[in-house]
């Protein structure tokens, strides 16, 4: 029983989620020969202030990128 957990920052549309679940399921069927009835896909949306990388929280990083691109 494959279990796939996809974590993304908030803002993913329902249409995008449907496409992700379908594509991940199709890939597991095609590549691993799994039964689609046994595949579970969970999408977790994380607030940007709860996700960090490059030494910054995502909302801070995006603010910095906005300042960088507006000064170019």
Average the pLDDT over 37-45 and give the result: 98
pLDDT at 72: 56
Band (70; pLDDT cuts 50, 70, 90) = low
* pLDDT of 5 higher than 90: yes
How high does pLDDT run on average in the chain?
A: 93
- For range 18-23, the mean pLDDT: 98
Read off φ and ψ for residue 57, nearest 5 degrees.
Answer: -75, 150
Strand partners, 2: none
The active-site residue out of 2, 17, 21, 48 is 2
pLDDT band at 71 (very low <50, low <70, confident <90, very high): low
What per-residue confidence (pLDDT) applies to 67? 77
Residue 36 annotated among the catalytic residues of the structure? no
């Amino acid at each position: 029983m494959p279990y796939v957990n996809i974590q993304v920052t908030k803002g993913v549309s329902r249409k995008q989620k449907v496409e992700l679940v379908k594509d991940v399921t199709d890939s597991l069927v095609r590549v691993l020969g799994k039964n689609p009835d046994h595949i579970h896909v969970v999408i977790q949306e994380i607030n940007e202030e709860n996700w960090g990388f490059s030494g910054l929280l995502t909302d801070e990083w995006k603010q910095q990128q906005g300042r960088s691109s507006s000064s170019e």
